[in-house]
A and B are shown apart, each in its own frame.
Chain A
């Protein structure tokens, strides 16, 4: 053991702290750039594969054929990058001292672009988190930082990437604390904030300040509406449970298939997605343009119900078959459709004045996010940052609380933890935040 004089040790420690502070900014910028590049690449690949208005044949063939390629990559070259990336990042933080091999962010980038760009119903935020976290871990080790510091950089990179991917810096910080670290009182709050801010500044300087969704100003129209939003919370909780159980069940089925099929499993999923895209192209990829329509009340009841069901099905198939992509965006999509449908029913039958269905779509987004991802604080702040308006937050909190209660009651294991358990990865208890009902501080 190297017994350095204490003053020398203090000097080294101070130097490391200084480097760490500067590093959080650099990592924030790099993670943000990575997330922006990831988004742009998905868009480029999607346009390249599908063109302006793809024919049904193309919609069927592209996911199936591209999944053959990504299946080979996932099986042979980048086996650690299947799925969302968030549970893997959590596992790296809690179980591997934050060590994420350099191949992981690279592999996640490539396979994520190909999977989401080829039409799989998956999100880009989860992969962005793993890319950002992987970059941070690699850089930390390259700079010969201490293992503790390397570990600390993982949520910093994750927050930076998510901040750029979602254009929601505050929600990104909360997500890093709530979901990656599992401790809302973490000492890394400052670092994650710095990285998140640096990231979003760079991202906005490149992509502009355009919000992710263009949402009218919604608010509680009548106090009795809280009952309607409570109903939405209940429905959101049920949908969350069904989605999680469906995902975990189908994933178990795929995992039980013979090992030799592992290379082809993503392609099997791609084939199914191809069939679904022929029937309904709107469930392809991230799908934020349709979420935008639901938030603005531009979709009819039948369409929203159909899209809700089909999107959930497609996401379950895409994810369970082992493709690389997240469930953030699908959660928001499913929630917006379910919420919008509930909103239309409430508007039609409620004996009191109600907000437009778009308000319910907005709350539905947050509700499903809270129920599936189990990040209620992130959900509330995400909706606030998207809308820049706090008037809808009270209904959102009410709906979140109920969704979370139902989700915890019938799906006790959060989905990320359940997914890791399916891979024989068991997080320590300290990795689990005890989520308070939305509106209370998490411990």
Chain B
């Protein structure tokens, strides 16, 4: 059937268009366009899902926190675990999970959770600190110290972060009886102390716990330089000086502090050491004898009273022996050469009395310290 030129042109155009459309290139480009569009769509959906997961993780975290407040560590651990799974990149959730697991007594699981996140965050101070606490809880001091050091030298957001960690480490070492390790850490701690009396007092107290009374006294002295009336500094300095045997200094500090039974007792003992020491310098011979006789008398009387009370059947025998001793006492006091021996005798009597009678008075303590002061505390 004959066609018009217009119809011919139309069918030719359609043919060409179909040919174009069929060409693989066009279809491939269409596919690529679909792929690009789908990528953006998928990314948008993924972002939406991620945001939802973030909210769910926060919700589980809140639930876990409430469970912890109510004391239900098991439920808290389950909630924190779900939060951690929902939002793996957020270490807060794993740290909370580890804390909850530790509270349930599941220290191994707590540590495993922390070790897992530490693999990707080896320098995170909070993770290292949590691992240190976990190791300490299960009694592994070596590992705990290692993690504490990792935490100490990790980058902290807060400037005083490492200080708190070091103090925690020091307390742990002291609790576990490692005074030497504690002193090493305390010395390090003194290098960046804030310039407050409280900070020096804190370090001084810890030095004293570690039995390093010299450094303790130094810290308390620094505290007093900042605040001369600080009660804690005065008490601490007094105790440190007392422990060092510097009773004059101890008395000076301790008498400035009022109202504390312990410091009052220490002050009294320090007084007595100074006033009852027969070997003190710059006292007359008469005063020396007077002190010695008084000390021996006190020690004898205490022992006599104690023995009589404990062994009443032997009272007559004890009375004779003690009378003999009393006579010897006076002669000892007259003989200057045996002064030290007398001080030692006083020490030994007091020791026996303390062993059998207990409840030493300040004077009894002072008499023992007098002997120790002069190296006359041999048994």
Chain A residues within 8 Å of B, Cβ to Cβ: 15, 19, 22-23, 26, 29-30, 33, 36-37, 40, 43-44, 47, 52, 139, 142-144, 202, 205-207, 210, 214, 216-217, 289, 292-293, 296-298
Stretch with Cβ within 8 A of A (4 or more), from B109-117, B131-139, B299-307 = B109-117
A130 to B31, CA, bound (A): 19
- Give 12 A-B contacts (CB < 8 Å), ordered by A residue: A19-B28, A22-B28, A29-B35, A30-B38, A40-B49, A47-B52, A144-B24, A210-B89, A216-B112, A216-B115, A217-B119, A298-B113
Question: Does the CB pair A216–B46 fall under 8 Å?
Answer: no
Chain A residues near B31 (CB, 8 Å)?
23, 26, 30, 139
A-side contacts of B113, CB under 8 Å: 296, 298
- Cross-interface CB contact of A52 among B28, B56, B81, B116, cutoff 8 Å: B56
Cross-chain contact B46 with A33 (CB below 8 angstroms): no
In the complex, per-residue mask of B65-103: 1 if CB is within 8 Å of any chain A CB, else 0: 000000000000000010001001100000000000000
* Residue in B34, B38, B42 with the greatest tally of chain A CB atoms within 10 Å: B42
Decide: B28 and A33 in contact? CB cutoff 8 A. no
A206 and B46 contact, CB distance less than 8 A: yes
A376 to chain B, nearest CB (A): 29
**Minimum distance in angstroms from B85 CB to a CB of chain A:** 5
| CB-based contact B38/A33 at 8 Å | yes
B contact patch SS: helix
A238 to B330, CA, bound (A): 98
Binding site for A on B (CB under 8 A): 22, 24, 27-28, 31-32, 34-35, 38-39, 42-43, 45-46, 49, 52, 56, 59-60, 81, 85, 88-89, 109, 112-113, 115-116, 119
* Alpha-carbon distance between A26 and B39 when the two chains are bound, in angstroms: 12
Known contacts A19-B28, A216-B115, then 12 further A-B pairs from the complex at CB < 8 Å, ordered by chain A residue = A26-B31, A26-B32, A26-B35, A33-B38, A43-B49, A44-B45, A139-B31, A142-B27, A143-B27, A206-B42, A216-B116, A296-B112
Interface contact A52-B46, CB-CB below 8 Å: no
Q: Give the complex CA separation of A360 and B152 in angstroms.
A: 36
What residues of chain A lie closer than 8 Å to B52, measured between beta carbons? 47
Q: Which residues of B contact A47 (CB under 8 A)?
A: 52, 56
Q: CB-CB < 8 A to B56: which residues of A?
A: 47, 52
> Which one of B49, B89, B112 contacts A298 once the chains associate, using CB atoms below 8 Å?
B112
Chain B hits for A293, CB < 8 A: 81
Q: Which of chain B's residues have a CB closer than 8 A to the CB of A142?
A: 27
CB closest chain-A residue, reference B89 = A210
**B28/A206 in contact, CB under 8 A:** no
> B59's contact among A30, A52, A205, A292, by CB below 8 Å, is which?
A52
Distance of A289 Cα from B53 Cα, bound (Å): 14
Contact A40 B116 (CB under 8 A): no
- Asked whether A214 lies within 8 Å of B116 as measured between CB atoms, the reply is yes
Closest chain-A Cβ to B84's Cβ sits at a distance in Å of: 10
Q: In whole angstroms, how far apart are the Cα atoms of A40 and B45 in the complex?
A: 8
Known: A19-B24, A26-B28, A214-B88. A36 touches B109 (CB 8 A): no
B28 in contact with A30 (CB, 8 Å): no
Nearest 5 CB-CB pairs, A to B?
A33-B38, A29-B35, A289-B85, A206-B46, A206-B43
Q: Quick one: given A139-B31, A297-B112, are A33 and B24 in contact (CB under 8 Å)?
A: no
- Report the bound CA distance from A36 to B59 in whole Å: 25
A36 B46 Cβ-Cβ under 8 A: yes
Question: Could you tell me the distance in whole angstroms from the C-beta of A400 to the nearest C-beta in chain B?
Answer: 26
Residues of B within 8 A of A37 (CB): 38, 42, 45
Residues of B within 8 A of A205 (CB): 43
Are A40 and B32 in contact, with the CB atoms below 8 A? no
Assembled-state Cα–Cα distance A205/B88 (Å): 17
A298, B82: Cα distance in complex, Å: 13
CA distance A15 to B25 in the complex (A): 10
When distances are taken between beta carbons in the complex, the residues of chain A under 8 Å from B22 are: 144
- Find out whether the CB atom of A207 lies under 8 angstroms from the CB atom of B46: yes
Give the distance in Å from the alpha carbon of A23 to the alpha carbon of B89 in the complex: 36
Q: When chains A and B are docked, how far (Å) is the Cα of A414 from the Cα of B81?
A: 38
Residues of A within 8 A of B43 (CB): 205-206
* A210→B50 CA distance, assembly (Å): 13
Whole-angstrom distance between the alpha carbons of A144 and B19 in the complex? 13
Contact of B39 among A40, A206, A296 (CB under 8 A): A206
